Amino acid sequence: MTQWLETSLGLIVLAVVVPTLAAVFAYAFLFKAMAHMQQRLGPMEAGPHGSLQLVAEAIKWVQKEDLFPRRADRLVFGLAPIVAIVTAFSMCALIPVSNAVVGAAPSMGLFLFAALSGVSSLAIVMAGWGSNSKFSVLGGLRAAAQLLAYEIPLVLALLGVVVLAGSANLVSIVGAQSSSLWFVFPQIVGFTIFMIAAQAELTQAPFDVPVAESELVAGYMTEYSGFRFLMFFIAELATAAALSGLAVTCFLGGWNIPFVELTGTLGAVVGPLVFFVKLMIVGFLIFWIRFSFPRVREDQLHKLAWKVLVPLGLANVAITACLKVWM
């Protein structure tokens, strides 16, 4: 009985926290940070300083007609955004926010995370294929190739962390960093690979080839509108939050502050705040790069993944393992 209660409570918290987090990301980075970098104000009307803009947008999208393109594969087309949002939310659930606030902590949490991010590419292929649109197909295929290619360096970068921490459980990875140096320092190569691969996993500039709006209109999202588009939008931002959260957990010490012991009630209160601050910093980094760079070409993208990041990631794992054994 208690397990059911806990699970349903957790689900409710997740259903509230993740969209809120997505909204915060959208507002802080997509609307405001981008606007200020581009010498604009961004949204100013909805709510104080435009902070409720996403709520207004969401209401607008929900009101729209649920459109299916003619001769689209209705089942696949309709399911794709649901697959996307479910995987994004599950990824968020795996991130431990503090000692006390842990959604789910399976012993192979890191690899469950990687597997889930693999499922999210399925959603994109479904959307691309189901739409019965040429732009969507091209976008979906590009996305499939890209997400598969960058999944490998992403996992390789995380392997270094697993070697150092001696566990794939995200809570123990954070625990391993509370007493020692944050893993970003010994794993600086891994961190760099992770951030590049995360950028590609999010299909954001400079790796936004699948949604390149000057080439493919909106790639796999071309035919989506209304609340299905909203679901993709939230899923994208929630994935961004989840990947930033993973970066914080694996490389930046999670809820720890250097030289300060956070235990008990203090840890339960301050821990999530520390985590949130770090999350926003990493998130800003991701979006900062997005707003600054032009997009690479499809072949250059794969060259980078297969010829640079994968060998580098393998070497990183090997060297980390050797050092771990010898020291």
Partner 1 sequence: MKAGYDERRAADYMNSQLVDGRVNLELVDDDGMVLNLGPQHPATHGTLRIVVKLDGERVVWAEPVCGYMHRGYEKLAEVRTYPQVNTLLNRIDWLGSFCNEVPFIQAVEQLLEVEAPERAQWIRTVLFELGRIANLMVFLGDMGMQLGAITPPFLAFRDREHVLDLIESATGGRFHPYYNRVGGIKEDLPKGWIADVLATMPRVRRFCDEMEEMLANNEIFRSRTRGVGVIRKDLALSYGMSGANARASGIDWDLRRDTPSPMAWKHAKFNVAVSADADSFARYWVRLVEVRESTSIIEQLLTNLPAGPIQAKVRKIIKVPPGATYVETENPLGQMGYYVVSNDGLSPYRVKIRTPSFNNISVLPAVLPGENVSDLITIISSLYFILGDVDK
End-to-end CA distance of the chain: 47
Give SS3 for 260: strand
In the complex, minimum distance from the CB of residue 242 to partner 1, in angstroms, rounded to a whole number? 24
Query: 191-221: b or e for each residue (b if 16 or more CB lie within 10 Å)?
Result: bebbbbbbbbbbbbbbbbbbbbeebbbbbbb
In the complex, minimum distance from the CB of residue 71 to partner 1, in angstroms, rounded to a whole number? 11
In the complex, minimum distance from the CB of residue 143 to partner 1, in angstroms, rounded to a whole number? 13
Give which of 295, 317, 308, 122 is closest to 212, Cα–Cα. Answer: 295
Nearer to partner 1 by Cβ, of 297 and 324: the residue is 297
Q: Are 153 and 302 in contact (CB under 8 A)?
A: no
In the complex, minimum distance from the CB of residue 142 to partner 1, in angstroms, rounded to a whole number? 8
Q: How far is it, in rounded angstroms, from Cα 307 to Cα 304?
A: 6
Give which of 148, 156, 99 is closest to 120, Cα–Cα. Answer: 148
Nearer to partner 1 by Cβ, of 38 and 263: the residue is 38
Nearer to partner 1 by Cβ, of 111 and 291: the residue is 291
In the complex, minimum distance from the CB of residue 288 to partner 1, in angstroms, rounded to a whole number? 11
In the complex, minimum distance from the CB of residue 108 to partner 1, in angstroms, rounded to a whole number? 36
Give the residues lining the site for partner 1 (CB under 8 A). 34, 37-40, 134-135, 138, 205-206, 208-209, 212-217, 291-300
Amino acid at position 258, single letter = P
Nearer to partner 1 by Cβ, of 102 and 296: the residue is 296
Q: Are 236 and 127 in contact (CB under 8 A)?
A: no
Nearer to partner 1 by Cβ, of 27 and 89: the residue is 27
Tokens encoding 100: 């006390």
Give SS3 for 257: strand
Which residues is 103 bridged to in the sheet? none
